[in-house]
Amino acid sequence: MVGQFIVTIDGTSSTGKSTIAKRIAKKLGYIYIDSGAMYRALTYYAIQKKYISKFHFDKKKLIKDIPNIYIDFQHNKVNNNFEVHLNGISYENKIRSLEVSNLVSQIATVVELRKQMVMVQHFLGKNKGIVMDGRDIGTVVFPNAEYKFFLEASSELRAKRRYDELVKKNKEISFNEVFENIVSRDKLDINRSNSPLIKASDAILIDTENLNLDQVESKILEYINFSNLNS
Ligand code: DC
């Protein structure tokens, strides 16, 4: 058992970050926090309030409404996960829809929202013992984290993995739709001016192109155990 550390896992969408982060947290006896779920919950809220759609985005109205939006995580005893809650309610399935996926990167550009989310993320990490995945966790949220990883793979492979996952869940979707969503999200996440997706200079890069989930997990755990034994 290692001590209480902060482990960050960043990278482009559909690199398997959340699955890996969940597994690492379980092995270390830490809590796992999916920071992307926070931006997804905000997107779901903005859609419900009609602040955003495929055709428009009323950023000003959303920003004005920030005092009415409360995002936190609550423990789900059934699956032992911490789930994001929007004003006290979990919308786990709804925040994973393609509609939310297609709009979330626009919502994630709003600086005022990011500030609020980083405050919640800092609160969650105050006692350490946490694995958090996202885009800016090792750079902006926890720049002093003990262990930082950055996962990457080609867009074609990521789209294929995501497409296979959705087909398994009986979602009717084309490979092209999934591919386009991944490419356009990456573009917005990488090019936004505030907290863009970028590898922290001290993060360990893991190219998952030719690795399965077990291999990625082993690599990360080996690294944590090795440096922990040698510190
Ligand atoms: O990890 P995900 O695909 O569920 O994340 C959804 C979106 O949220 C992603 O396109 C970018 C944004 N995001 C972010 O800007 N910062 C984070 N720390 C996590 C996610």
Q: Tell me how far the alpha carbon of residue 95 lies from the centroid of ligand 1, in angstroms.
A: 12
* Apex 14 CA angle, 180 and 79, nearest 5: 130
Pairing of strands 147-152, 204-207: parallel
Q: What is the pTM of this model?
A: 0.94
Number of domains the chain is built from = 1
List the residue whose alpha carbon is closest to atom 18 of ligand 1.
Answer: 134
Pairing of strands 71-76, 81-86: antiparallel
Is residue 101 in contact with ligand 1, taking CB distance under 6 Å?
A: no
List the residue whose alpha carbon is closest to atom 9 of ligand 1.
Answer: 105
Mind listing the pLDDT tens digit of every residue in the chain (231 residues)? 457 999 999 999 999 999 999 999 999 999 999 999 999 999 999 999 999 999 999 999 999 999 999 999 999 999 889 999 999 999 999 999 889 999 999 999 999 999 999 999 999 999 999 999 999 999 999 999 999 999 999 999 999 999 998 899 877 889 999 999 999 999 999 999 999 999 999 999 999 999 999 999 999 999 998 777 666
Give the pLDDT of residue 60: 98
Q: Would residue 76 count as lying in a domain?
A: yes
CA distance 166 to 31: 26
Give the pLDDT of residue 225: 84
Give the pLDDT of residue 98: 86
Query: In terms of Cα–Cα distance, which of 35, 180, 29 is closest to 120?
Result: 35
Give the pLDDT of residue 3: 73
DSSP the chain: ---S-EEEEEESTTSSHHHHHHHHHHHHT-EEEEHHHHHHHHHHHHHHTTSB-SS-B-HHHHHHTGGG--EEEEEETTTTEEEEEETTB--TTGGGSHHHHHHHHHHTT-HHHHHHHHHHHHHHTTT--EEEEESSIIIII-TT-SEEEEEE--HHHHHHHHHHHHHHTT----HHHHHHHHHHHHHHHHH-SSS-----TTSEEEE-TT--HHHHHHHHHHHHHHHHHT-
Q: Tell me how far the alpha carbon of residue 10 lies from the centroid of ligand 1, in angstroms.
A: 9
| CATH number of the domain encompassing residue 183 | 3.40.50.300
Give the pLDDT of residue 205: 97
Q: Would residue 224 count as lying in a domain?
A: no
Q: Would residue 77 count as lying in a domain?
A: yes
Q: Tell me how far the alpha carbon of residue 229 lies from the centroid of ligand 1, in angstroms.
A: 33
CA distance 36 to 15: 13
Give the pLDDT of residue 171: 79
For ligand 1, pick from 39, 103, 137, 190 the residue to mutate: most ligand atoms within 8 Å of CB: 39
Cβ distance 144 to 20 under 8 Å?
no
Treating both helix axes as pointing N-terminal to C-terminal, what angle do 98-107 and 35-48 enclose, rounded to 10 degrees? 100
Q: Would residue 80 count as lying in a domain?
A: yes
Q: Tell me how far the alpha carbon of residue 186 lies from the centroid of ligand 1, in angstroms.
A: 10
Q: Would residue 228 count as lying in a domain?
A: no
> In the numeric block, which tokens belong to residue 228?
């922990």
Cβ distance 163 to 24 under 8 Å?
no
CA distance 109 to 112: 9
Is residue 108 in contact with ligand 1, taking CB distance under 6 Å?
A: yes
Range of the domain at 46: 6-217
Give the pLDDT of residue 229: 63
